């Protein structure tokens, strides 16, 4: 068995993606569905060891290395590529599909990378491919895509600097657990956190993702942030700073989502919120917490993609994205409504959904470590998730008032993708042992105790009560909320324009002064050397003789001295 | 004008009644089950209910206050 040639799962997906534009349109759907299945098969063929090594610049790179954690992420990324492909079957911008498959493939490359250089290469491929996914939405996404690319280039530079520093200072090339005790490692952590949507640069996510097409954002929601979660899980488990960063992300996501009007930006903020839960789990660092973070990443990819599929269906059928334009769609889009609600219940960790199992593992790990404040804040945040995503999204899009829109449910392939992911949300919620089997550590956790279920129901249902009682304060307005991206979208632009003005006026002043000085010089020259100038006049012979006599007389007097 | 049963005033009233009954039931369930609190506060009666409600009120109020400072028209960056 071990002598078998290992096909890197990443390569299957990337090559499949690159083949798409070369095929006639009729064959494309077949490839879109088969390639992710083949990838999943290859994911499960990777043994629990370094499986593929190559020499590169005097280093031995481990291109493929498997274990339970890599397999968990590889599996859910392949599932995501399949459901995303199914959902995007009618996407006629083939460049988006190619980019999306290269993006997903690179993410799989990261999770099977055995060394830091391989990891970095796939990391950068992800950044390029995902920027292309944003850009495939056309003109309207040009600026957002550029900002997205720039931020990820910055993250890549930080990661590269960290990797180079680590290797230069004699660190191991192999990618494994690292303690935060040197500058290069902090640089690596910073680069990874940029991709996770951590502060202070979280704004790239709600800025760029909602500008993608109805199908593009489904892909985007899954890979970048969760690959960062994987790298943190393997590289920096138990780093305490992650607990505080995660807590910030959790509440940042809730507060900004409460204020947001664009349905897909609400869901974008809630990605930051959910990744915050995972980052907290990684920071706690016990086996239970790490299992919880890994399980939450797995569950999250599925229910967030489901939520974005239901939002994407609404966008596809109505062309509208603002809550103020939507409402009352449950009448004619019943299936989209139901699938959206299942996704919303899962993200809120409602009992019988996947989120309940995974999020409970993280909170219980905090409780078992006696982290009282973290546990209380996690409980408050769970209530807040139900508020901003669990009720707000379905309420404003599908119920609320009657917008007069009567779109039908989307085409069959989009419905099928939603039904598939809804089923998975419920399956992992009802039969959590299926998920436990995939986790990196042995699981000894019973989510369904009467006490726990009752607590969670109280927490969520009373959050619902707060939502409906305070509906007046939650009324949507045609506004955005300023974020740290203001510094580079407004302040930076203003300064750049001012700099332009300053340079221009400085230049004008210098030109004016020079011209005046030159004119004055010309006048001066003309005054002495011009036709009437003192030095250029013709003098009479008499005055010449006179001055010669004066000089000779002076000479005579001086010689007597 | 809108004849969907779900948006009729009578249905909404009925939904509120059912919701209130469920809310009361989840709180009363605390009397019959044995909770395993990690700390002290989380062992109080109906902890999930009052804590969840209060958290949401605080979050909404905080968001509202932040919004009054940081909200801009959604065409802010368009120029």
Q: What is the pLDDT of residues A150-198, one digit of tens each?
A: 999 999 999 999 999 999 999 899 999 999 999 999 999 999 999 999 9
- Residue A197 zone, left/alpha/beta (φ > 0; ψ -120 to 50; rest): left
Does residue A368 belong to the interface with chain B, where contact is any CB pair within 8 Å?
yes
Q: Residues 6 or more apart from A197 whose CB is under 8 A from it?
A: A204, A205, A225, A228, A249, A271, A272, A275
Q: What is the pLDDT of residues A157-169, one digit of tens each?
A: 999 999 999 999 9
Does residue B6 belong to the interface with chain A, where contact is any CB pair within 8 Å?
yes
pLDDT at A1 over 60: no
A196: tokens are 């996770």
Q: Which of A492, A475, A300 lies closest to A392, judged by CA?
A: A475
Contacts of A402 in chain B (CB under 8 A): 2, 7
DSSP state string for A327-391: --GGGT-HHHHHHHHHHHHHHTT-TTSHHHHHHHHHHHHHHHTT-HHHHHHHHHHHHHHIIIIII
A556: tokens are 């005579």
Does residue B41 belong to the interface with chain A, where contact is any CB pair within 8 Å?
yes
Contacts of A483 in chain B (CB under 8 A): 70
Confirm whether the ipTM is greater than 0.90.
yes
- Per the CB < 8 A criterion, the answer to whether A366 and A284 are in contact is yes
**SS3 label, residue A282:** helix
Q: Which of A293, A136, A109, A153 lies closest to A220, judged by CA?
A: A136
- Per the CB < 8 A criterion, the answer to whether A260 and A307 are in contact is no
φ, ψ of residue A237 to 5 degrees: the values are -65, 140
Torsion of CA A293, B48, A368, B34, to 10 degrees: -130
At A23, the pLDDT band (50, 70, 90 cuts) reads very high
- Per the CB < 8 A criterion, the answer to whether A335 and A409 are in contact is yes
Q: What is the pLDDT of residues A31-75, one digit of tens each?
A: 999 999 999 999 999 999 888 989 888 888 999 999 999 999 999
Beta partners for A55?
A: A60
For an interface test with B, the pick among A457, A470, A471, A490 (most B C-beta atoms closer than 10 Å) comes out as A457
Q: What is the pLDDT of residues A458-513, one digit of tens each?
A: 999 999 999 999 998 888 889 999 999 999 999 998 999 899 899 999 999 999 99
- Average pLDDT estimate for A230-241: 96
Measured at the alpha carbon of residue A499, what is the angle toward residues A498 and A504, in degrees to the nearest 5?
A: 95
pLDDT at B4 over 90: no
pLDDT at A262 over 70: yes
The overall average pLDDT reported for chain A is 94
Give the DSSP letter of residue A24.
Answer: -
A402–B7 CB contact, under 8 Å: yes
For an interface test with B, the pick among A251, A374, A459 (most B C-beta atoms closer than 10 Å) comes out as A459
Does residue A90 belong to the interface with chain B, where contact is any CB pair within 8 Å?
no
**SS3 label, residue A64:** strand
Contacts of A470 in chain B (CB under 8 A): 56-57, 60
At A2 the pLDDT is 47
Does residue B23 belong to the interface with chain A, where contact is any CB pair within 8 Å?
yes
CA distance A144 to A208: 5
- Per the CB < 8 A criterion, the answer to whether A4 and A64 are in contact is no
Does residue B60 belong to the interface with chain A, where contact is any CB pair within 8 Å?
yes
Tokens 């969760």 sit on residue: A226
Lowest mean pLDDT among A331-340, A514-523, B29-38: B29-38
pLDDT at A538 over 80: no
| Facing residue for B56 by CB, picked from A376, A466, A482 | A466
Range list of β-strands (E), B1-79: 71-73
Torsion of CA A112, A116, A119, A120, to 10 degrees: 180
Q: Which of A255, A256, A294 lies closest to A275, judged by CA?
A: A294
Does residue A549 belong to the interface with chain B, where contact is any CB pair within 8 Å?
no
Burial of B71 per CB tally in 10 Å (0-12, 13-18, 19+): middle
- Average pLDDT estimate for B45-67: 95
Q: Which of A464, A357, A474 lies closest to B19, judged by CA?
A: A464
A331: tokens are 């009448």
| Facing residue for A462 by CB, picked from B36, B53, B62 | B53
A255–B59 CB contact, under 8 Å: yes
Does residue A118 belong to the interface with chain B, where contact is any CB pair within 8 Å?
no
């Amino acid at each position: 068995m071990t002598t078998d040639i290992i096909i890197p799962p990443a390569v299957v997906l990337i090559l499949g993606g690159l083949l798409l534009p070369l095929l006639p349109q009729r064959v494309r759907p077949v490839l879109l569905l088969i390639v992710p299945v083949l990838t999943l098969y290859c994911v499960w063929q990777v043994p629990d060891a370094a499986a593929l090594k190559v020499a590169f610049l005097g280093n031995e790179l481990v291109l493929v290395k498997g274990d339970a954690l890599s397999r968990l992420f590889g599996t859910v990324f392949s599932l995501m590529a399949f459901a995303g492909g199914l959902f995007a079957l009618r996407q006629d911008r083939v460049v988006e599909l190619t980019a999306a498959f290269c993006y997903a493939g690179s993410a799989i490359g990261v999770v099977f990378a055995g060394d830091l250089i391989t990891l970095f290469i796939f990391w950068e491929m992800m950044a390029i491919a995902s920027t292309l996914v944003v850009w495939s939405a056309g003109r309207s996404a040009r600026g957002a895509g550029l900002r997205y690319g720039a931020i990820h280039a910055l993250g890549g530079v930080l990661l590269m600097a960290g990797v180079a520093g680590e290797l230069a200072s004699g660190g191991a090339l192999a990618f494994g657990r690292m303690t935060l005790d040197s500058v290069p490692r902090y640089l690596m952590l910073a680069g990874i956190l940029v991709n996770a949507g951590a502060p202070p640069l979280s704004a790239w996510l709600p800025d760029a993702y909602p500008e993608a097409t109805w199908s593009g954002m489904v892909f985007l929601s899954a890979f970048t942030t969760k690959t960062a979660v994987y790298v943190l899980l393997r590289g920096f488990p138990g780093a305490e700073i992650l607990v505080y960063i995660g807590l910030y992300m959790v509440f940042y996501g809730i507060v900004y989502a409460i204020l947001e009007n664009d349905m897909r930006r609400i869901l974008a903020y809630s990605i930051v919120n959910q990744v915050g839960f995972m980052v907290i789990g990684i920071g706690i660092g016990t086996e239970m917490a790490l299992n919880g973070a890994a399980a939450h990443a797995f569950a999250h990819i599925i229910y967030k993609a489901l939520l974005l599929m239901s939002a994407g269906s609404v966008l596809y059928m109505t062309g509208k994205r603002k809550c103020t334009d939507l409402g009352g769609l449950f009448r004619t889009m019943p299936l989209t409504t139901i699938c959206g609600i299942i996704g919303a219940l899962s993200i809120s960790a409602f009992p019988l959904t996947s989120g309940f199992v995974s999020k409970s593992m993280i909170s219980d790990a905090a409780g078992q470590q006696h982290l009282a404040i973290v546990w209380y804040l996690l409980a408050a945040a769970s209530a807040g998730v139900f508020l901003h995503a669990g009720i707000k999204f379905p309420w404003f899009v599908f119920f609320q008032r009657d917008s007069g829109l009567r779109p039908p449910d989307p085409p069959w392939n989009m419905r099928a993708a939603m039904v598939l992911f809804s089923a998975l949300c419920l399956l992992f919620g009802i039969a959590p042992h299926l998920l436990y089997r995939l986790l990196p550590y042995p699981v000894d956790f019973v989510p369904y105790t009467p006490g726990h279920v009752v607590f969670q129901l109280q927490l969520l249902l009373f959050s619902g009560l707060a939502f409906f009682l305070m509906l007046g304060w939650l009324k949507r307005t045609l506004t955005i909320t300023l974020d740290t991206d203001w510094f580079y979208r407004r302040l930076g632009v203003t300064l750049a324009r001012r700099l332009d003005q300053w340079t221009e006026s400085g230049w004008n002043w210098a030109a004016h002064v020079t011209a005046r000085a030159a004119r004055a010089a010309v006048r001066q020259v003309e005054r002495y050397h011009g036709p009437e100038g003192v030095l250029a006049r013709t003098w009479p012979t008499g005055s010449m003789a006179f001055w010669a006599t004066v000089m000779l007389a002076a000479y005579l007097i001086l010689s007597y001295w | 004008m809108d004849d969907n049963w779900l948006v009729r005033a009578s249905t909404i009233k009925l939904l509120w009644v059912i919701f209130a009954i469920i809310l009361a039931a989840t709180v009363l369930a605390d009397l019959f089950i044995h909770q395993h609190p990690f700390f002290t506060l989380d062992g109080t009666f109906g902890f999930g209910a009052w804590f969840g409600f209060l958290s949401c009120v605080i979050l909404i109020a905080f968001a509202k206050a932040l919004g009054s400072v940081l909200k801009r028209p959604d065409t802010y960056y368009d120029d």
